[in-house]
């Protein structure tokens, strides 16, 4: 299939390329796409060098699938144009996530919603993806009434500029203001400020957890409140998730539901100090859940600790899995084969 990776020179774009390689996705033509300032640069894919091309050239090639990770502005402008020429767009930005006409998909949770009419498909926020992976089977079994979420999110989620800021600070260099992705240092610090503040005093990242969770689980009645914190961790995002169910549960059954969830690994052996950590999740595609315990302060309450690599399952891998599902279920097919 003709595959375009839009935003190929960014952090997530690079991981998308690796994921396509590792998962042996059937790529007959690889189109690395980026903004004008990156056109002509070279990227490596499956042992070969490819020159980065611009949007217009990629559009003219009419790829079967275009995986976008180039920011909301680029997605709003270009995704409809790619869709018009028959390309299926899988978009990693927040541009289309809450559009009522666009599907917001975590394949293990709700891929069955996808049809041939879906030309722009939204990839959820990284912190939302890993959380709903753990919550989906439990919501089905016990119905979630309310969620209280605290996140500990890697600076890599902010992008290349944040990585450079961290690296400079780690070396003892004080970055210039134009070199800083954050208002304050990230090295040896925690910032309760992910994305921009909104009128309700929550950040945009926190409201993504609220709104996207409800949309993916298909239940707007779920109460959700979140605090998102940026931490000096390179390997992934962690979340403390407090759940209140409508129906009673047994811990043994909770574990059984979690263990049966594809893509979810239960790592919960406190007797041997085994629990999820970003150190172990880095470069892994699975979502890890542990510290599973009853919330003794409330009826039908449960605590979970959820960890995943935000650049992989939280972004790149989830997007590739969407493409795999579309191909496997014959929702998309190569234009070359069709002709």
271: in domain: yes
Distance CA 254, CA 260 (A): 10
One domain for residues 57 and 200: no
User: Looking at 17, 194, 237, 257, which residue is catalytic?
Assistant: 237
User: Is residue 234 among the annotated active site residues?
Assistant: no
Spatial CA neighbour of 155 closest among 130, 118, 188: 188
169 and 216, same structural domain?
Answer: yes
Which segments in the chain show pLDDT lower than 50?
339
Answer whether residue 294 is part of any domain.
yes
Do 135 and 83 share a domain, yes or no? no
Contacts of 226 (CB under 8 A, 6+ apart): 147, 148, 149, 150, 151, 202, 205, 206, 207, 209, 210
**Are 141 and 201 contained in the same domain?**
yes
Q: Over the range 259-273, which residues count as b (16 or more CB within 10 Å of their CB) and which as e?
A: eebebbbbbbeeeee
pLDDT at 65: 98
Our count of domains for the chain comes to 2
pLDDT at 237: 98
**What pLDDT does 335 receive?**
64
- Model-level pTM? 0.96
Is the same domain home to 71 and 132?
no
pLDDT of residue 339: 45
Q: Examine the residue annotation and report whether 237 is marked as an active-site residue of this protein.
A: yes
Predicted confidence at residue 337, as pLDDT, reads: 52
Residue 6 is assigned to a structural domain of this protein: yes
Please report the pLDDT score of residue 333 as a whole number: 78
Stated as kind and residue range, the H or E segment containing 76 is helix 72-84
Task: List, for residues 211-258, the tens digit of each pLDDT value.
Answer: 999 999 999 999 999 999 999 999 899 999 999 999 999 999 999 999
Catalytic residue among 126, 139, 194, 257: 126
* Listed residue (307, 287, 304) closest to 295, CA to CA: 304
By residue count, the chain amounts to 339
- Domain region containing 68: 2-95+315-338
> Which pLDDT score is estimated for 257?
98
């Amino acid at each position: 299939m003709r595959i375009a990776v839009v935003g190929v020179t960014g952090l997530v774009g690079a991981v998308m390329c690796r994921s396509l390689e590792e998962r042996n996705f059937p790529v007959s033509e690889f189109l690395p796409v980026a903004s004008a300032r990156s056109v002509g640069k070279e990227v490596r894919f499956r042992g070969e060098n490819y020159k980065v091309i611009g949007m217009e050239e990629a559009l003219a090639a009419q790829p079967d699938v275009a995986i976008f990770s180039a920011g909301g502005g680029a997605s709003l402008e270009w995704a409809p144009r790619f869709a018009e020429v028959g390309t299926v767009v899988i978009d990693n930005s927040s541009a289309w996530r809450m559009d009522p006409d666009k599907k917001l998909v975590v394949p293990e949770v709700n891929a069955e919603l996808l049809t041939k009419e879906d030309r722009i498909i939204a990839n959820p926020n990284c912190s939302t993806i890993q959380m709903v992976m753990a919550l989906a089977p439990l919501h089905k079994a016990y119905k979630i009434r309310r969620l209280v979420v605290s996140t500990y999110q890697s600076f890599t989620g902010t992008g290349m500029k944040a990585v450079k800021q961290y690296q400079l600070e780690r070396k003892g260099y004080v970055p210039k203001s134009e070199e800083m992705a954050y208002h304050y240092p990230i090295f040896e610090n925690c910032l309760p400020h992910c994305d921009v503040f909104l009128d309700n005093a929550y950040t945009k990242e926190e409201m993504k957890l609220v709104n996207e969770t409800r949309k993916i689980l298909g239940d707007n009645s779920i109460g959700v409140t979140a605090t998102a914190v940026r931490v000096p961790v390179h390997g992934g995002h962690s979340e403390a998730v407090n759940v209140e169910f409508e129906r009673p549960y047994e811990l043994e059954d909770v574990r059984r539901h979690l263990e049966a969830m594809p893509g979810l690994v239960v790592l919960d052996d406190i007797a041997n100090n085994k629990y999820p950590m970003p150190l172990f999740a880095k470069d892994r595609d699975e979502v890890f859940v542990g510290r599973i315990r009853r919330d003794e302060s409330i009826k039908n309450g449960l605590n979970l600790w959820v960890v995943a690599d935000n650049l992989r399952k939280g972004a790149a891998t989830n997007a590739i899995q969407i493409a795999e599902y579309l191909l496997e279920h014959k929702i998309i097919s190569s234009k070359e084969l069709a002709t």
